[in-house]
């Protein structure tokens, strides 16, 4: 019995000896784990495009324009057919949220048919709409991911344009890249 215990102890010693243990080659390499987290993207309309209150001439057509800026300017054009009355007016303002320094491509879609209408379905032509003063449809969000877009427009009023409150829906689309 003692002989069996001694042989077992000797066998255990030989197996546990490093010189006799079998060794396998191995390599170790570091890798980086990473990912990108984006903030929620959003585009929110804060202010409507509003050319204010105007009167029209019974004979001459004209235009009213609102510049696309945070401090818009309202002007008239044409043959003197539009007179600006003291009233509030505004460029449309959109506030956006993107990833910091992310590029944003904008698309501006005028109202359906290029008109705004009143309750009696009288129309005013939306001659032109533009983004900011330079009509730059590409921009970059700031370091916090914020950006602001102003939309202005030119409206053509007919001679003797019917009185009414005119409105229409347009779209600004932001594609984040």
Per residue of the chain (177 residues), give pLDDT as tens. Answer: 554 554 455 455 555 555 556 788 988 899 889 876 666 899 999 999 999 999 999 999 999 999 999 999 999 997 789 999 999 999 999 999 999 999 999 999 999 999 999 999 999 999 999 999 788 999 999 999 999 999 999 999 999 999 999 999 999 999 999
Token pair of 144 as six digits: 């916090």
For the chain, what are the domain ranges? 42-176
CA dihedral 169, 136, 97, 92 (to 10 degrees): -30
Full-model pTM: 0.77
């Amino acid at each position: 019995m003692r002989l069996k215990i001694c042989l077992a102890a000797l066998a255990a010693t030989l197996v546990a000896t490093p010189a006799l243990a079998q060794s396998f080659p191995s390599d170790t390499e570091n890798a980086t784990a990473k990912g990108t987290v984006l903030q929620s993207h959003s585009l929110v309309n804060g202010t409507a495009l509003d050319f204010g209150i105007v009167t029209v001439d019974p004979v001459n057509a004209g235009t009213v324009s609102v510049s696309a800026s945070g401090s818009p300017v309202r002007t008239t054009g044409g043959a003197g057919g539009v007179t600006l009355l003291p009233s509030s007016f505004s460029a449309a303002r959109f506030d956006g949220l993107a990833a910091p320094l992310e590029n944003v491509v904008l698309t501006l879609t005028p109202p359906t048919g290029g008109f705004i209408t009143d309750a009696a379905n009288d129309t005013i032509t939306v001659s032109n709409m533009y983004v900011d003063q330079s009509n730059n449809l590409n921009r970059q969000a700031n370091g916090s991911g914020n950006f602001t877009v102003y939309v202005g427009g030119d409206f053509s009023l007919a001679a003797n344009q019917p009185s009414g409150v005119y409105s229409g829906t347009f779209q600004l689309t932001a594609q984040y890249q």
